[in-house]
Structure 1
């Protein structure tokens, strides 16, 4: 299959708005996610892959969490990798970044102690194939760590507009038109079971207005707005202007100190038997 077919959101992923988004998401999620990584009890000198690493926000945090580990960040797009190398070059050679596809990793079988994949499988077709490739490169007894976005797990009260009119209708239609499943978080457990993975755990991170600074939360929504409204207008029943109004309305709610908003994100882990 072509690069475009396997990465239908390549234009959005390479836009500077996504770089802002990855930074805001890392700030919002990492404090709740880091304790999940600590549970894995990795060996000294562990080999870790960050598949779909983007700008290396989490690769660098993992390097700090596991100071004796060797880390490889892989992304299909060169633009975010240039940012990753520029921002985190001081971590070389223990941390490196290379271009590659999550569907065809240029690594031997059983190479890794921990394989991490975050904010990826909702944006690609055939997520089960990507998970199978992650399992292939992970050693027996090693762990897979998967953050699986699901845009049906967004809870924002009505303001001028009702977010329930937008979520999950827009992402469901967007995914159908681009060959991806933007509600894949609810299917990730079943996909891991189908691969025969063991000791599956499922935790939830809450990006909400109690656990995350409102401006950090709002920055995620602003980046989505800036990077996606035109594509939403192309692939869904919503025009770009309608999508923009929904995002702006929700951003106002997120910033409103009298309101509560939340995006719940499944994070799964499994052992390769």
Structure 2
């Protein structure tokens, strides 16, 4: 039920295709950036990012790749970690987001943003020390191809951190039980890879990487300021798909809105993270 930080040209964010944002003008770009910024401030996201950064154990002078770099927030943090002798490449298919990321990064050294998708990274074999990919695989029809690409660009001993949602863990409260169950089943059908979180370790193994045994996890609780727009967008898609009726969506929205006025609304999804290493 949440937005993603990056991904392919088909990635949806708050009801927009990322490829359409760049075409749709400044207003849609600003909306997308706002969604990413709000989510990036949530404790569940920051906790899991901290977990991944700790285990990547980045060092000064290393070269790091951020797949689906969005607004560039993670790229800037990576650059601060590897220092002026290191370099960070943000791969992002949306031209408007790349422009925004460049503006936000300013004159920070060692940063580059390039056009590309996760399934065909514009990076030569064995050229990076670490890769991070956050909430991108959930949007891909072939996540295994994307992880194989990440393994391809790693140097021996290089590390990959995958962070992704698992929409089989979604919670929508309050909601009529029967309507809520249909709503959540319908949402699963709208995601190309809804169970991404539980597959991260398997994808890393399939790509020939050694997988660390620990798995990071954190619940992303959707902030109340995002709920009206999120439910409106999702509800419209589910009505169009015939999963729920317009009246049922309206009733659900009223129920959640009333609960949020008392701080009782709760909409969440669990995110997971896994680390893989290319053998020396």
User: How do residues 1-273 of structure 1 correspond to structure 2 at under 5 angstroms?
Assistant: 7-9=9-11, 11-13=16-18, 14=21, 15-16=28-29, 17-28=31-42, 29-68=45-84, 69-91=86-108, 93-159=109-175, 163-167=180-184, 169-175=185-191, 180-200=192-212, 201-208=214-221, 217-222=223-228, 224-225=230-231, 229-235=235-241, 237-238=243-244, 246=252, 249-250=255-256, 253=259, 256-258=262-264, 262-273=268-279
Unaligned runs of 5+ in 1: 1-5, 209-215
Q: Which runs of 4+ in 1 moved over 6 A?
A: none
Task: Give the drift of 1:268.
Answer: 1.4
Q: Could you say what secondary structure the match of 1:97 adopts?
A: strand
In structure 2, do the counterparts of structure 1 residues 252 and 193 end up closer, same or farther at CA, with 3 Å as the change threshold? Answer: farther
Aligned 8 A contact 2:174 2:266 in 1: no
Task: Give the drift of 1:225.
Answer: 4.2
Unaligned runs of 5+ in 2: 1-7, 22-27
Task: Give the drift of 1:149.
Answer: 1.6
Between the aligned partners of 1:173 and 1:191, the Cα distance in structure 2 is: 21
Cα displacement string for residues 18-70 of structure 1 (whole angstroms, at most 9, x for unaligned residues): 32221122111124422431232223211111111111122223333443431
Aligned 8 A contact 1:25 1:220 in 2: no
Report how many residues are paired: 255
Aligned 8 A contact 1:229 1:241 in 2: no
Task: Give the drift of 1:189.
Answer: 2.0
Between the aligned partners of 1:270 and 1:220, the Cα distance in structure 2 is: 33
Between the aligned partners of 2:150 and 2:210, the Cα distance in structure 1 is: 14
Cα displacement string for residues 223-251 of structure 1 (whole angstroms, at most 9, x for unaligned residues): 54465554444456246775576466446
Cα displacement string for residues 97-134 of structure 1 (whole angstroms, at most 9, x for unaligned residues): 11112111121111111101111111121111011001
Cα displacement string for residues 240-272 of structure 1 (whole angstroms, at most 9, x for unaligned residues): 775576466446545643565542111111111
Aligned 8 A contact 1:111 1:139 in 2: yes
Query: TM-score, normalising length from structure 2?
Result: 0.78
